[in-house]
Amino acid sequence: MAVIGIDLGGTKVAAAVFDSVGNILAKEVKLLNGAQGEEVGQLIIDVIRMLMSSTSVCGIEAIGVCVPGIVYSKKGTVWAPNIPGWNDYPLKRIIENAIGTTQITVSIESDRTCYVLGEVWKGGAKGCQNVIYLAVGTGIGAGILIDGRVLHGHSDIVGATGWMALQNPYSDDYIPCGCFEHFASGNGIALQAQKILCGKPDYDGPLALKTVKEITCKDVFAAYEQGDVISRQVLDKAIEMWGMGAANLVSLLNPEKFVFGGGVFGPAKKLIQRIYEEACKWGQPISMKQVQFMASEIDGEAALYGAGYLAIRESDNPR
């Protein structure tokens, strides 16, 4: 069996042909180079055709696609906020029309769903039936696998964990992205440092090397390693939020593995034990003793492997 997995990101399309056990038989990567709307759809089709025509590959049985947004499974359309023109884009129909056969199953899922599928197939949660993958990057989202099934919800928005309510009183600051993201996403961490710095005109630590508005999450972690007081304050708050958010998810869903991934974990990998200790204060005690907190073992490739595994799963068990 051979399938194609496609990971559409904000800057590129990565695609690979996988065999049934996850070996990569062929791979293509194409930069978006500012492509929008139909251009991105055409780029995906071009990559599919290149892989299907490869002399080393034959007999493609299914295609899985990972997109950075919401996949409306009932309509087969996609909302991808970082791709102009993809507000309700009919990606599934466009791919099916382009390949010209009903013998190849086409499946599309959100990035957070593909993250958890990738981790279950080839990462640290291999073979597990109950896994949560918390993706912490620019925002925060969760891929959720329970009893071997991916959760989708009424309108396919399961896992929008950035909007978890973890801090009171309510603030209008939470409107753009949610409470959890406001404090503990990559953008949120940078924002919290900027807010504190605005109130400390005499600060002369490592974050003072840039203007306040230029401070990034990466800068905060670098300053934290140097013992910077402001960075420690910001990341202590993020650890509290990650712990509380994880505790809520563990108490509700009782996973065996809780995986942290995304660009922030990265530098935050070394904080996972502290996050677990914080979560244990809040979470259901039996569930917390049973779950393992861990960093993704295939971060950077989780979405691509997840798209490949999606293709295999859906071709075997179509909805």
Q: In which residue are the tokens 């990466």 written?
A: 218
Give residue 150's identity as a one-letter amino acid code.
Answer: V
Question: Contact at 8 Å (CB) between 243 and 281?
Answer: yes
Q: How far apart are CA 18 and CA 2, in angstroms?
A: 6
Give residue 145's identity as a one-letter amino acid code.
Answer: L
pLDDT in tens, 177-217: 999 999 999 999 999 999 999 999 999 999 999 999 999 99
For the segment 20-45, the average pLDDT, to the nearest whole number, is 94
By CB atoms closer than 10 A (0-12, 13-18, 19+), residue 123 is buried
Q: How far apart are CA 121 and CA 318, in angstroms?
A: 18
How many residues make up the chain in this entry?
Answer: 319
Q: How far apart are CA 266 and CA 141, in angstroms?
A: 16
pLDDT of residue 318: 55
Q: In which residue are the tokens 């800057």 written?
A: 11
User: What is the sign, positive or negative, of the torsion defined by CA atoms of 119, 125, 130, 132?
Assistant: negative
pTM reported for the whole predicted model = 0.94
pLDDT of residue 59: 83
**CA distances in angstroms from 60 to 76, 105, 265, 304, 314, listed in the order given:** 21, 10, 34, 16, 14
User: How many C-alpha atoms does 163 have within 13 Å on its Cβ side?
Assistant: 6
Q: How far apart are CA 45 and CA 13, in angstroms?
A: 11
pLDDT in tens, 240-260: 999 999 999 999 999 999 999
Q: Give which of 161, 116, 157 is closest to 294, Cα–Cα.
A: 116
| Banded model confidence at residue 101, pLDDT cuts 50, 70, 90 | confident
Give residue 262's identity as a one-letter amino acid code.
Answer: G
